[in-house]
Chains A and B, each alone.
Chain A
Amino acid sequence: MSTQVIGGTGDTGADLPASQGPVLEVRNLSVDFGVDKKWVPAAIDLNYEVKAGEVLAIVGESGSGKSASSMSLLGLLPSNSRVTGEVLLNGKSVLTMSPARLRQIRGNDVAVIFQEPMTALNPVYTVGFQIVETLRLHNEISPDEAKQRALRLLQMVELPDPDKAFRSYPHQLSGGQRQRAMIAQSLSCDPKLLIADEPTTALDVTVQAEILDLMRNLRTQLNSAIVLITHDMGVVADLADRIAVMRQGRIVETGTAEQIFRNPQHEYTRALLAAVPHLGQGDGKDDVDVTAALAAATHTDLQTVDHDELERREQNVLAQLADAEHEVASHGTPGVAPVLELIDVAIEYPKQGRVPAFRAVEGANLTVYPGQVIGLVGESGSGKTTIGRAAVGLLPVAAGSLKVVGTDVSGFRPSSKELAKVRRHVGMVFQDPSSSLNPRLPIGESIGEPMYLAGEAKGGELQKRIEALLDQVELPRAYRNRYPHELSGGQKQRVGIARALSLKPKLMVADEPTSALDVSVQAKVLELFQNLQRELGFACLFVTHDLAVVDVLADYICVMRRGRIVEQGSRDQILRSPQDPYTQRLLAAVPLPDPEKQRERRELRAKLLTVSD
């Protein structure tokens, strides 16, 4: 089958038999979009090919042209686009095909897995209906036969109850199940080429790991060629045989996964790899071998790693943990009052009309001391954002006590004067920089508004403060008069940080401040954030789903699941010796941007899951 191309070591490509040509050949492909009567290039002169059973990952940041170029393979671009070059699918040119022939190819020879399964599946039809429709569109088979095949497909994508999934509407399935259903639909006609456009970006990390496993299994089962479009280096390391790195419409580097990760040549590839946060990576002695830590915590043995070697690594991890704990113990507990204290807090979303109140957080205990950075980690729906918003007084506390800078705010009404006073000590940075700034206000005004309202500064004094804040977040002062839409995502987030800092808060709540940003921009913003935190010494509640980001910033990590805090401890305790099974699973699911380490991690995760089942 396809085994000879998997792994892609050395010069395997050269001694392939000539008969096994690539499934997809792309030659000098360029894509332009007509904007305001001008052609704007989205992809420039691309060349690549994919063989059967091979995964080619096209990696790039937003605007690199990775999606546009891949959608052009199927003629799925909007009408204001222009495609030139040559695309050969099994030796036949796709770009010159008639629309009728192209329709035949779509779904039959080539299938696409989209990023957001909720919008890619039609919400008014059942999953089964949609798969049957695809099957009968391309094959002359009876409805019964189609149903049987649809059920087999749903089984193949490892849905727990294929019969039930067949009868379900998309909204009745969870995110991961929906993605599986969509994969089943795209596999319905044994495609020779599968284009996966960010297939796991909308999913939680544990679900992402499952979908990646599924795709790996399917690749060997079906022997189809896969083009994987993603921005996530961890996903690439997990799945890809070959990698094409794109930037501003051009491929800057292609090679096997090994070559790109071990020996990147282009400056951009190096910068990109350096910018990816690495779970467990510190500066030198802070490095945590998370795989070994997990193996130690769960007493698992790995096939891919020599037993003695693993033992040595485990010992190493635990020894460092002891060191770290010793160091903490020698410092003693801080003798200062905490800036944020949650005691048995429950938070509810109040009932609206006939919708009953929803308890999003239950029994939460958490203490943040001045100058401390706490990472609040969890998957979607875990209640992490809820805690963040309650700390700013945006959500009422239903039970327990929530103290901000010594004041218990749990009894305050949402728009009371007392709460307003407390809010001055808390700054908040939001997830989406584009929607958290008023698009009609110049950014200087956005930054200055809280100071003006609080009566901190007026007139010239206010202007000076705004300039100082812009300096702090490393934006040019002239930006004061600019509007949010003129700034890039990273710059907007800097403005968001400056605004949160404007009242010199004692506590900063950062709600996924970098998850909407590209990796290289994220690295810059995180660095800035870290510097500011050190310089100004505010305490920080850093809410995120990304463990690797938390690892960069936080000295204390708090893991949440379904509204409860399942484990909290210092970074070393959590990474070196995770105790809660959920924390272990979460850590094991984070893909490492390194193919070799990721292989170990994958095995460990599989072991973990069999143990806990």
Chain B
Amino acid sequence: MPEPTSSVAVTEAAAPVARTKTSAYPIEHFVADLDETPLRATDSAVSDAAPRSLWGEAWRSLRKQPLFIISAILILAVIFVALFPGLFTSEPPNENCLLENSDGGPAPGHPLGFTVQGCDILARVVYGTQSSLTVGLFATLGVVVIGGLIGALAGFFGGWVDAILARVGDIFFALPLILGAIVVVQLPVFQQNRNVWTLVVILVAFGWPQIARITRAAVIEVRNADFVTAARSLGVSPLGALVKHVIPNALAPVIVIATISLGTFIVAESTLSFLGIGLPPDVMSWGNDIFSAKPSLRSNPMAIFWPGLALSITVLSFIMLGDALRDALDPKARKR
């Protein structure tokens, strides 16, 4: 706003009469000073800054978020432990288990104490990271590929494709994971070679409908956008439109849910292992450790506490990362 003295008041006869803003009421014809309200060229260029894609924008807002920084550091640490377990403990995990150390407290070289079998807890927790993370990572990958593909096809083509795929998904959705897993594990194929990969297959088989639903909803939303119609009208084939125009724009919610479900798959692995239908007892995993520490819960609670803590922190980091991603990828949903 201009200073009172610089404001120009023009009466009907276009004779400028200087008036101050406060004393004259009503202000008849006020005109702001052009110097203070300059006109810029209409519809002009924004700036000379480098172009930034939406992914770039998301990354910029992401890296400023404390939630993202904390969870990313934790996840990187967990991955590092899984890749190089030898750096964190000098003890081999399954040897040197002496029954005389059973349920022993912390001792020199064994800072977290011993399990009921007399194994070093730290070594077991460190080596257990590998299987937990592998299961979580590959189950998520499988779910995203299978669920994403089915959801995208169902959403994009609609009609009978959608009807069939959606029903199949619903059938799997209706089966409780644990019940289904108990039945599937009894199959001879799974009985004979139970390992990390059989567990991944089971988790993917029961986990894909969730991602399929999310992808389907996101694809339907994007499918009707004008730019897809525009692409179609300019000669892009249906599949081309799906791959190039629809999927990149439907990816954000899928990424968020996939990150969160990575955490839940790790929990599922532990749950199944705890129930004895997950990883075989000779594979080191947090779930198996929690299971084997159960009888000595009162006498040696630390044996269950440490693998439990590792599990909680890992899962929590993935869920936090998912939340941070959601904020960055979908700015509209951000809390005010």
Contacts and interface: CB of A to CB of B under 8 A. Distances in A.
B8 interface: yes
Given A13-B28, A483-B51, A435 B42 contact: no
A113 interface: no
B44 to A, nearest CB: 8
A488 B43 CA distance: 7
A460 B236 CA distance: 21
A603 B229 CA distance: 44
B18 interface: no
Nearest to A435: B226
B55 to A, nearest CB: 8
A258 interface: yes
B174 interface: no
Contacts, number: 163
B88 interface: no
Contacts of A543: none
Contacts of A333: none
A521 B41 CA distance: 10
B76 interface: no
Q: Which of B8, B233, B248 has the most CB of A within 10 A?
A: B233
Contacts of A423: 233-235
Interface stretch (A225-233, A404-412, A437-445): A437-445
Given A266-B37, A499-B230, A255 B30 contact: yes
B59 interface: no
B292 interface: no
B31 interface: yes
B87 interface: no
B28 A255 contact: yes
A53 B123 CA distance: 83
Given A254-B29, A255-B28, A255-B29, A394 B229 contact: yes
B27 interface: yes
Interface stretch (B9-17, B257-265, B268-276, B319-327): B9-17
Contacts of B45: 476, 479, 491
Interface in B93-150: none
Interface in B207-258: 225-227, 229-238, 240, 244-245, 248-249
A40 to B, nearest CB: 14
Interface residues of B, number: 48
A396 to B, nearest CB: 14
Interface string B291-320: 000000000000000000000000000000
Nearest to A253: B31
A482 B49 CA distance: 10
Given A430-B230, A435-B227, A521-B43, A482 B32 contact: no
Contacts of A255: 10, 28-30
Contacts of A122: none
Contact of B249 (A268, A440, A442): A440
Nearest to A28: B1
By size class, the interface of chain A is: 35 or more
A259 B51 contact: no
A174 interface: no
B42 A520 contact: yes
Interface in B23-52: 25-32, 34, 36-37, 39, 42-43, 45-46, 51-52
Contact of B236 (A442, A453, A482): A453
B46 A251 contact: no
Contacts of A250: 1, 32, 36-37
A47 B27 contact: yes
A267 interface: yes
A593 interface: no
Nearest to B64: A36
B336 interface: yes
Interface of A: 9-11, 13-14, 22, 44-45, 47, 49, 78-80, 247-248, 250-256, 258-259, 263, 265-268, 271, 392-394, 415, 420, 423-424, 426-428, 430-432, 435-442, 446, 449-450, 453-454, 476, 479, 481-483, 485-488, 490-491, 496, 499, 502-503, 520-521, 524
10 contacts: A11-B11, A47-B21, A266-B31, A271-B42, A415-B238, A430-B229, A436-B229, A438-B248, A483-B52, A524-B42
Interface of B: 1, 8, 10-12, 14, 21, 25-32, 34, 36-37, 39, 42-43, 45-46, 51-55, 57, 225-227, 229-238, 240, 244-245, 248-249, 336
| A-B pairs, 6 with minimum CB distance | A255-B29, A45-B1, A436-B226, A490-B43, A450-B234, A265-B31
